Amino acid sequence: MNSLSMTFISPLEDSAAQRLRALLERGLPLTARPWQALAEQCGMSEGEVLAWVERWQREGLIKRMGLVVKHHALGIRANAMVVWDLPDDTVSEVGRRLAEEPAVTLCYRRPRHLPDWPYNLFCMIHGTRRERVLAALDDIVRRQALQEIPHRVLFSLKAYKQCGGRYTREEQT
């Protein structure tokens, strides 16, 4: 996975931009002028650093500057994948509504695998305890009038592998 860093930059981009990319992968400096600090390390001006980051965000290579919370450190032990079997013509609309629910932390449409797997909408709900996650789900079902929609809750029993890696991805279902 490490060679991904090279696929990001086209050969036409200059080496200072490549240095900036490599520095950013380690995280943003915790100092009053973080872009200035990066600029000094890669031989650019502060304005040039901001322009590159703005461009990468606009092009969608970087979603945003953000932080990654360690669930376990906050006592968040219950991790539920809630899957729904929605009609194809309403799945997108329901997905958008579920994503607006505060308890929902990720929401995706994925393919069914009939007959084994009829579910086409996946969302994640995290919480300190199972009862709280189930209570949050009950509220959502009532609020969104989804009582008639078949759904299942798949709690995680054990994590066998959790890689950090330099590339922060949000698909952590």
Partner 1 sequence: MSLARTQRSEPAELDSADRRIINRLQDGLPLVESPYAAVAAEISLSEGELLYRLERLLEDGVLSRFGPMYHAERLGGGLTLAALEVPEADFERVTAAVNAFPEVAHNYRREHRLNMWFVLATETPERIDEVIAAIEAATGLTVFNMPKQEEFHVRLHLPV
172, containing H or E segment: none
Rounded to the nearest whole angstrom, what is the least distance from the CB of residue 162 to partner 1 in the complex? 6
Compute the distance between CA of residue 78 and CA of residue 133 in angstroms, rounded to an integer: 7
For partner 1, the closer CB: 15 or 156: 156
DSSP type of residue 76 = -
Rounded to the nearest whole angstrom, what is the least distance from the CB of residue 45 to partner 1 in the complex? 11
Rounded to the nearest whole angstrom, what is the least distance from the CB of residue 1 to partner 1 in the complex? 6
Taking each helix axis from N to C terminus, what angle separates 34-42 and 15-25, rounded to the nearest 10 degrees? 130
For partner 1, the closer CB: 60 or 87: 60
For partner 1, the closer CB: 7 or 147: 7
112, HSE (Cβ side, Cα atoms, 13 Å):
13
Indicate the SS3 state at residue 109.
strand
Burial class (CB in 10 A: 0-12, 13-18, 19+), 21: buried
For partner 1, the closer CB: 60 or 148: 60
Rounded to the nearest whole angstrom, what is the least distance from the CB of residue 145 to partner 1 in the complex? 18
For partner 1, the closer CB: 55 or 142: 55
Rounded to the nearest whole angstrom, what is the least distance from the CB of residue 107 to partner 1 in the complex? 4
Count of other CB atoms within 10 angstroms of residue 92: 12
Compute the distance between CA of residue 112 and CA of residue 121 in angstroms, rounded to an integer: 9
